[in-house]
Every structure is written in C-alpha cells, then in structure tokens.
A and B are shown apart, each in its own frame.
Chain A
C-alpha cells in the first residue's frame, strides 16, 4: 500500500502563516464553502455531490427482508461507506483506514441515530417482512471535507429515493413494479447536515470551514457539528486535537446554522427542479401506459 504524501515543510509553514493573515490558498474567506453542486441520476436515489474537487456519489436501494428479531416492528436502514483506491492509492479495499471508520461513524450518528428516517414506516408485516434501505457512499475524489460532502449526498439520495409501493390484502403482500404503481417516497422526518470546522494555530484560535486536503493535513484539530435547518443539533464530534475555547465553539455552531440553512435551501431547490424535470405534465401523459413513472 503506497503511503499518503505528506505536505512539505514549506507548505505547512505557509498555510499557517497565510491563515494568520486571513488568507487561504484558493482565495476563499475562512468561513466560505467551495462551490457545492448536487445532481441527481436518472434512477431514483442517486445523488452526485461535488464540493470543489471533492466528489461523492450516494445511491439508495431498498429490498424486502426479514426484520431483526429484537426489533420486529422496525425496518432496516444501513449506510455503507467505502473509500476505494480510486479515491487515493493509499486507501485499500477491505482494510478500513481511520478516515473511513470516522466517516461512517459520523454518518451513522448524524443520519441514522438522529431519526431522520422513520424506520417504523419500513415495516411491512410485523416480525416477518420489512424494507431494508441501504445507502452506498462512494467517494470518487478526495480533496478534503469528505464528511460534509458525504452527509449531504446521503441525505439527498434518501430524499430523492422512491421505494416500490406495496399493498396487503388477505395476508398476501404485493410489491408493485413502477409500471403498476407510482413508487412512494420514504417517510422522511428532518434533514440533518454536517458542518466541519478545522482549527489552526497553537490554541486553535483560527477556525476554518470546508478545509481542503492540504489544510486537513496541517490542521491542529477539527469539530463536526450536525444540525438541521431548525437549529436542532444532532451531534457534535470533536475527536482529539487541541482544546478549543467553549465560546468559540458556540460561535461555530451559530455560523453552522446559517450554512445548514443554505444547504437545505439548495437541496429543496434541486429536488423541486428534479421533480419538475420528471413530471411529463398533463393528464393524458399521466394516463399513458408508457408513462415513465
């Protein structure tokens, strides 16, 4: 496994020196994100997120399975993260690095544990049949701030996803194909987003949003805040690094809220655009047998 390239001493020194003067190498403000783009695929549940040079693809799928015996009334919801050698040669298949473990753990905490998806609505027959919803996160290119991009992609994929419609008649469960019945969206309760702050300087006095890969290699510590647009905080993760002043952290969360509102707005807009694109329009078009439901 080839080792990750470390930035040179000159680069480390310069990044810090420039940040002391409120300068970043790509000319952004300290609390400015790189251009965030969201595209949906032809199928339901495919979201492609680009954040500068970072690119993440998330795909949601659903299948009918048997629920866990200890949770007969709940469906199954899993998020699978994979950092392949395509992202960077230093990642290897089946040998998760620290980055990968932290990424999947944070996504789990943010999306699954915050109850964004109502798992009870995935239950079909108590104790016998339920939907298993799975989101696969593929990191296509890594230029820093994977967590925010991956979380955005997962939420977008799940909100875009439609699962096949089902019905229950006289103990017979029927799953309809998209041609028979329009697929139905998941029961989505709220949309949490991650905002990651990176801290630089001796005491972590410089806080920076959306760090690039070079900045991530140089930073003293980081803190990920997950919250939804109503300001409800789902989790805060500050894993090691330098201690940061509590007041500074509070300020970070309030800035994070404004960013999350922007994300939320972007996602709503893109979802509405996608819906409009799929809508063939007109009653006759809807009634046609070959309607692309």
Chain B
C-alpha cells in the first residue's frame, strides 16, 4: 500500500533520508525512475511523484512517460505481427523491437491444440522476460499453475483505445479508485452510466481493450477513458463526464 503523502522530485535531487523506508527483513527495492549511486546515494532520474511502500520496503517514482519500456511481470495488450516455427512475434509498442510469445505459452497448449492466431490478433499477456538488450518475451499462462488467469487471445466485439502510460498504470492498480483516482469504469457500469455492460482489458503498454455486445457502449467507455486521461479529471469531474457522455450518445 502506497502512502498518501506524495512528494514531487526532480532528476538529480537529493532525497531526504527520512523518506527512505527501512525494514527488518526485506532489502530495499528501487523501482523505475530511481538510481543507486554507490555507496549510499539514491537519486531520481526522472521528474515525478516519489512513492514509498514501507511494507515491501520499496520505493519508485511515478511519472508519465510516452514510451513503453517492458519490465518483467507487466500485464500488456500485444498485437501479433507474424508467426514463426516456435513463437509469435508481437508488437507491444509502436516502432520498437517485437516481443516473442512462444506457441506453447497458452493454457493447456500442446503442439496440436495451441491457438492459431492470425497477424493482427490481440493477446492479453504477461511479460516473462525483459532484459535491457534482448527482445522481451511474453506468456499467456501462469507457469507455476498452468492456468491462464484471464490472459490469452482477445476475441469478441470490441476496440482498443490508446491511453497514456500513467493512466494505464492507474487503471491497473488494485484499488484504482482510491489510489489511482480513476472511478470512471465503475461509474459507467453503475448508477451514473445506467448500468452499461462491458468488459475491459487494460495493458501497461498504454492500450485498453473495451468489449461489449453493443458498439455504442464501447464508444462511450472508450471516450470516457480517453477524456479522463487527456483532461486529468478528478472523481467528481469523471462523474459529470459519464453523465454527459451517456446522455449525448443515447
């Protein structure tokens, strides 16, 4: 759980030692945007909000960048480019190196039962390997249990909407309304939106898939997400936006 206190840091700024979390057992973990300069300096490399997590003994800088850099464990929305003998090549961000997705990295996939994906199909996948100078690797299955856990090819009516990376991270937070300040999806499905029925798959690479039987619902949800992101709307403004969009599109 992140603390509510949000300190804005600039690159190269010194961080007050009292802000650095300490823990009896876990070693200190540095996330994106921070750099350890031996012996004992921790320096931010980007401008953003410094967030610390005392329970996990970790700290990182929350910032909104434009280019997605994969890191291990990220859930992303990838697009198949083509298939080779053993794996699919997927695009995870425009104009960057393709990621590989092994043919057998799907739930209960064997050589005969593996899903056949055409170029251009979408998969919801996890980054299983991300090293700095190698192409990233993806998987659509939890390797320890062999279950899909919601990952896999995305089918059905729906469309992909581009959002900023920071907004995608906020959407993916466990408590996106409290921590991320994004309540727009709950509102659209709830009272304000008149109970629209839709499903979403948000990827950390700044892509959100919105699916629904009715194209109108998809357009409403997609526009609500993009406008919330673009305008940096708060909860109350999001409520007004949802009401306006639902009224406009009916």
Q: Which of A5, A14, A24 contacts B157 (CB 8 A)?
A: A14
Which residues of chain B come closer than 8 Å to A15, judged between CB atoms?
159
Q: How large is the interface on B (under 10, 10 to 19, 20 to 34, 35 or more residues)?
A: 20 to 34
Total interface residues in chain A, CB < 8 Å: 22
Stretch touching chain A among B28-36, B117-125, B167-175: B117-125
Interface core residue of B94, B118, B122, B159 (most chain A CB under 10 Å): B159
- Are A27 and B219 in contact, CB atoms less than 8 angstroms apart? yes
Interface centre among A12, A15, A18 (most CB of B within 10 A): A18
Pairwise interchain contact A25-B121, C-beta atoms closer than 8 A: no
Within 8 A of B (CB), among A14-56: 14-15, 17-18, 21, 23-27
Residue of A nearest to B155 (CB): A10
Q: Tell me the B91-137 residues at the A interface (CB within 8 Å).
A: 91, 94-95, 118, 120-122
Task: Tell me the number of A-to-B contacts counted with CB atoms below 8 Å.
Answer: 57
Q: Are A11 and B248 in contact (CB under 8 A)?
A: no
Which residues of chain B come closer than 8 Å to A174, judged between CB atoms? none
A27: contacting residue among B95, B154, B159, B249, CB under 8 A: B249
B209 at the interface (CB under 8 A from A): yes
A5 contacts B120, C-beta separation under 8 Å: no
Given A21-B215, A21-B216, A8-B120 contact (CB < 8 Å): yes
Interface contact A10-B95, CB-CB below 8 Å: no
A6 within 8 A of B: yes
| B118 and A9 contact, CB distance less than 8 A | yes
| CB of A240 closer than 8 Å to a CB of B | no
Please judge, given known A-B contacts A5-B95, A8-B121, whether A23 and B216 are in contact too, CB under 8 Å. Answer: yes
Name the contact of A9 in the complex, choosing from B120, B209, B215, B249 (C-beta under 8 A): B120
Q: Is the CB of A23 within 8 A of B160?
A: no
Main secondary structure, interface of B, reads mixed
A27 to B91 Cα, complex, angstroms: 28
Collect the chain A residues with CB atoms within 8 Å of residue B91's CB. Answer: 5
The reply to whether B159 and A11 form a contact with Cβ atoms under 8 Å apart is yes
How far does the alpha carbon of A25 sit from the alpha carbon of B160 in the complex, in Å?
10
Q: Which of A8, A18, A26, A27 contacts B160 (CB 8 A)?
A: A8
In the bound complex, CA of A2 to CA of B218 (Å): 31
Q: Complex formed: what's the CA distance from A24 to B215 in Å?
A: 10
**Cα–Cα distance between A184 and B218 once the two chains are bound (Å):** 54
Residues of B within 8 A of A7 (CB): 120
Report if B239 contacts A (CB, 8 A): no
How far, in angstroms, from A84 to B94 measured CA to CA in the complex? 17
B48 at the binding interface (Cβ < 8 Å): no
8 A-B pairs with CB atoms under 8 Å apart are A8-B122, A9-B120, A10-B121, A14-B159, A18-B219, A21-B215, A23-B219, A27-B245
List the 9 closest pairs (A to B, CB-CB), nearest first. A14-B159, A9-B120, A2-B95, A18-B215, A5-B94, A89-B95, A8-B79, A8-B120, A8-B122
14 additional A-B residue pairs with CB within 8 Å, beyond A9-B120, A9-B122, A10-B154: A6-B120, A8-B120, A8-B122, A9-B121, A10-B121, A10-B160, A11-B160, A14-B158, A18-B218, A23-B215, A25-B219, A25-B222, A25-B223, A27-B245
